Amino acid sequence: MQANNRAATALPQLPKSPTGIEGLDEITKGGLPLGRPTLICGSAGCGKTLMGVEFLVRGAQRYSEPGVLMAFEETGEELAANVASLGFDLNELQTRKMLRIDHVHVDRSEIEETGEYDLEGLFIRLGHAIDSIGAKRVVLDTIEALFSGFPNQGVLRSEIRRLFRWLKDKGVTTVITAERGEGTLTRQGLEEYVSDCVILLDNRVIDQITTRRLRIVKYRGSTHGTNEYPYLISEDGIAVLPVTSLRLDHEVSDQVDSTGVPALDEMFGRGGYFRGSSVLITGTAGTAKTTLGAFFARQVCKEGRRCLMFVFEESPQQLIRNMRSVGLDLQPLIAQGLLHIEASRPTINGLERHLVTIHRLVHDFQPAAVVIDPISNLISVGNINEVRSMLTRLIDFLKVNNITALFTALINTRTNQNEMTEEGVSSLVDTWISVRDLEGIGERNRGLSILKSRGMAHSNQVREFLVTSQGIELLDVVVGPTGIVTGASRLTQQLQEHARHLAAQQETERRDRELERRRRMLEANIANLRTEFESVEEELRQINTDEQHRQQALASGNQRIAANLPRPSPPPAGEIDE
């Protein structure tokens, strides 16, 4: 089995030609099939011609591959004028011999006058254009005009096959544009079968919002993305979304970004958010979600790194003014080029335009952090599934670029599931902070809690916080008889606790005084007893002394008496008894 896997990996892969179109090379796994024809089909206004032109321009600019554009509907001057708004200078490329534009006019009446019609002349003309500049890429726009002169369907099919075979034999990577038919991808219904790669472009209107979608119908010899991908035609060309990694293999960091609120940092085991992670702050209206996001942005800028803010509810001037009321001046950060605020209404563009705008600003500004406030407003330009898809791509894009992302979202109070956002991205983010109303007796207070923080320990407390002129202040948790107390109840609880503490202190002082009084009384009693003991001791000592003197006097008298007594004389010698 392993030998088979090694053999499979050793097989040569299909060579590809990168398009240079943002996002398209990613979903095609490297670009269009090299040296083979690719069909781009779709209805009017979906950007078929622009995609073909950009394929040639990017090839010339980035890969030094000359290209030939053979147009059957527009002249070279018209094409150059049309794509100038995208920043493409076709005349300059022609001057450098990196591009050749050939306009072929096909008139049905002229064909009928001359009789037989085939593509031999086209082959000669196209071959000369390719050889004149050494072209590696070719675009034919559009094929319907070319085949309109074939009334015989049999001849038409034969010539289509012959054209595609000729292009393969020539070895050029070709893009052929075609209009969509009724029930088929093209009007003739044959081009999609003989093409090696087929890309379908669609321009649809849903709920009065225009959305363009791209789908790779087939790609011979290669895997590819099979979903429908939104794409956008902007002033910089075509951008296909997502422009992110298709796999969860991005790098992660152990570094931590401060939240900008020291007390909030203390609630996280590592002191903030992991760098490159995604953070979601949810809450009802008026719970300081924007303020928390602004403090995070300020902290990033204070460290000398750049931050990009997208706001959908306020103008930059209004945001700057409002943040001054909480002691946060963003204007100097903007002047230093560390902070950029991009403000727009969500309804001004579709979701794809917003996503491409974010991508482009991130690419140009190179921020270390991005703040989007609020993502819930995007619901106004798309349904929940579309918004979820857009945010998934955005989160993935920011993670791949190791950018810390902070999103705010408004909780829908009409539902009972206040812990779930309408966008359904709470499971995608790494850290989820909930700010909520803590309603008490006749007042409303704010509370904050951390619902999750992947990869680090965090506090499970619900902390009341105040938004003051000096910033955000998190208060210590106060627990009453019925649970956590806030607001006026917190003050009452604190006063009661202070009164109890004062009473306990006074009782302690009273006990200390009583102990001191008793100590003094005891010491006085001890002094009296000591004095009485000393008196008794003195008296006993005196008695002992007197007794000693008396004994001494008695002994002395006895000695004197003994000394004055006469001594007895010894008896005569003859009177001794026998």
The mean of the pLDDT values for the chain is 82
Bridge-based pairing of strands 256-257 and 273-274 is antiparallel
Range of the domain at 445: 256-476
Residues 193 and 339 in one domain: no
Q: Are 339 and 309 in contact (CB under 8 A)?
A: yes
In a domain, 471, yes or no: yes
- Supply φ then ψ for residue 75, to 5 degrees: -80, 170
Residue 76: pLDDT above 90? Answer: no
Tell me the per-residue pLDDT of 196-230, one tens digit each, with 9 for 90 and over: 899 999 887 766 667 788 999 999 988 888 888 88
In a domain, 558, yes or no: no
Write down the pLDDT at residue 8.
46
Residues 446 and 484 in one domain: no
Rounded Cα gap, residues 44 and 22, in angstroms: 22
Structure tokens at 284: 């009802």
C-alpha count within 13 angstroms, C-beta hemisphere, residue 274? 20
- Sign of the alpha-carbon torsion through 62, 11, 24, 219: positive
Write down the pLDDT at residue 385.
73
Residues 136 and 95 in one domain: yes
Residues 468 and 489 in one domain: no
CATH number for the domain including 221? 3.40.50.300
The label of the residue with tokens 């009452």 reads 492
Whether residue 142 has a cis bond before it, omega within 30° of 0? yes
In a domain, 564, yes or no: no
Residues 178 and 75 in one domain: yes
Residue 243: pLDDT above 60? Answer: no
Q: Which residue from 252, 225, 242, 361 is spatially nearest to 306, judged by alpha carbons?
A: 361
Residue 268: pLDDT above 90? Answer: yes
CB-count burial class (<10 Å; 0-12, 13-18, 19+) for 458: middle
Rounded Cα gap, residues 382 and 10, in angstroms: 45
- The domain total for the chain is 3
Distances (CA, A) of 136 to 5, 13, 26, 284, 466: 34, 20, 21, 58, 66
Residues 286 and 151 in one domain: no
In this prediction, residues 333-341 reach a mean pLDDT of 94
In a domain, 563, yes or no: no
CB-count burial class (<10 Å; 0-12, 13-18, 19+) for 511: exposed
Residue 3: pLDDT above 80? Answer: no
CB-count burial class (<10 Å; 0-12, 13-18, 19+) for 544: exposed
Q: How confident is the model at residue 550 (pLDDT cuts 50, 70, 90)?
A: confident
Write down the pLDDT at residue 255.
92
Residues 314 and 447 in one domain: yes
Query: Which residues in 284-307 are b (16+ Cβ under 10 Å) and which e?
Result: eeebbbbbbbbbbbbbbbeeebbb
Q: Which residues contact 540 (CB under 8 A, 6 or more apart)?
A: none
If one compares 491 and 236, the residue with the highest pLDDT of the two is: 236
Residues 184 and 42 in one domain: yes
The domain boundary residue, chosen from 240, 267, 295: 240
> How distant is the alpha carbon of residue 388 from its chain centre?
14
H helix and E strand count, the chain: 17, 24
Residues 296 and 155 in one domain: no
Rounded Cα gap, residues 32 and 129, in angstroms: 22
The domain boundary residue, chosen from 468, 488, 511: 511
In a domain, 331, yes or no: yes
In a domain, 533, yes or no: no
Q: Which residue from 217, 225, 169 is spatially nearest to 197, judged by alpha carbons?
A: 217
Residue 7: pLDDT above 50? Answer: no
Write down the pLDDT at residue 19.
93
- Supply φ then ψ for residue 72, to 5 degrees: -115, -5
Write down the pLDDT at residue 441.
62
Distances (CA, A) of 520 to 198, 513, 516, 524, 527: 106, 11, 6, 6, 10
Q: Are 216 and 197 in contact (CB under 8 A)?
A: yes
Q: Are 135 and 167 in contact (CB under 8 A)?
A: no
Residue 576: pLDDT above 50? Answer: no
DSSP secondary structure, 296-340, as one string: HHHHHHHTT--EEEEESSS-HHHHHHHHHTTT---HHHHHTTSEE
Residues 445 and 488 in one domain: no
Write down the pLDDT at residue 578.
44
In a domain, 30, yes or no: yes
Q: Are 29 and 15 in contact (CB under 8 A)?
A: no
Which of 17-21, 58-62, 450-454, 502-506 is least confident? 502-506
In a domain, 424, yes or no: yes
Tell me the per-residue pLDDT of 403-451, one tens digit each, with 9 for 90 and over: 999 999 888 665 544 444 545 678 889 999 999 887 766 678 888 999 9
Residue 527: pLDDT above 70? Answer: yes
The model's pTM is 0.67
Residues 14 and 80 in one domain: yes
Q: Which long-range contacts (CB under 8 A, 24 or more apart) does 148-155 make?
A: 148/106, 148/108, 149/106, 149/108, 149/111, 149/117, 150/117, 155/118
Tell me the per-residue pLDDT of 276-330, one tens digit each, with 9 for 90 and over: 999 999 988 888 999 999 999 999 999 999 999 999 888 999 999 999 999 999 9
Residues 92 and 224 in one domain: yes
Dihedral-angle region of residue 171 (phi above 0 means left; psi in -120 to 50 means alpha; beta otherwise)? left
Distance separating the N- and C-terminal Cα atoms of the chain: 152
Percent of the chain with pLDDT over 70: 80
If one compares 203 and 2, the residue with the highest pLDDT of the two is: 203
Residue 380: pLDDT above 70? Answer: no
